[in-house]
Chain A
Amino acid sequence: AQSVTQLGSHVSVSEGALVLLRCNYSSSVPPYLFWYVQYPNQGLQLLLKYTSAATLVKGINGFEAEFKKSETSFHLTKPSAHMSDAAEYFCAVGYGQNFVFGPGTRLSVLP
């Protein structure tokens, strides 16, 4: 079965600092990859999606992610954190008929 790991259940950055949220997946075949964000008391919102068209994917709110097949990684980055980025972030893998979510990383942004 496929699995998704997200290193760090909680990440803290200062406002204006680089955001890096890590995601690794287990798959012998490149899957479809997604990043979702969840703000308090809300559902999940799609940030970006990798579909093999380009290894660097740009999403909403200034986020982007790079697919690295050799590392089976799909890390999420944002050059400059904003207070409004504080939320929980989920990496997800789609393959076949299935959709698997990682455990999530809570991002705190410090003033």
Chain B
Amino acid sequence: KAGVTQTPRYLIKTRGQQVTLSCSPISGHRSVSWYQQTPGQGLQFLFEYFSETQRNKGNFPGRFSGRQFSNSRSEMNVSTLELGDSALYLCASSWGTGGDNEQFFGPGTRLTVL
């Protein structure tokens, strides 16, 4: 079974631009979560989608948004990029939603904002 895939793997943008990251979950998984990982803040939860609905949201500004499609694939968008948005963005999928569902992670998209 194929794992979680994320595209692109690396991205360089400049301040003020916007970016869209994509995540394809493991086949059959209906929940997709997004995390931002930085050396200073560690792993921070962005949001979770389940069956095309946002179920949970972390403490990030409205510039960060996401969506999920009917095939469970998910995208996240960051508008008006800031230098501080430079991070590894990780996507994780799970079969269901809830704390008992182990999450399977993709390799991440490394975003650099110049």
Contact = CB atoms under 8 A, between A and B. Distances in A.
B55 A97 contact: yes
B114 interface: no
Contacts of B55: 97
Contacts of A90: 43
A42 B109 CA distance: 10
B33 A99 contact: yes
A34 B100 CA distance: 10
Interface stretch (A45-53, A62-70, A74-82): A45-53
A31 B108 CA distance: 27
Interface string A37-64: 0000111111001010000000000000
A51 B101 CA distance: 10
A39 to B, nearest CB: 10
A96 B35 CA distance: 18
Contacts of A98: 56, 99
Interface in B88-114: 90, 92, 97-108, 110
A46 B110 CA distance: 21
Nearest to A44: B105
Contacts of A93: 99
A21 to B, nearest CB: 15
A34 B102 contact: yes
Interface in B33-51: 33, 35, 42-43, 45
13 contacts: A43-B106, A44-B90, A44-B92, A44-B105, A49-B102, A94-B100, A96-B98, A96-B99, A97-B56, A98-B99, A99-B45, A101-B42, A103-B42
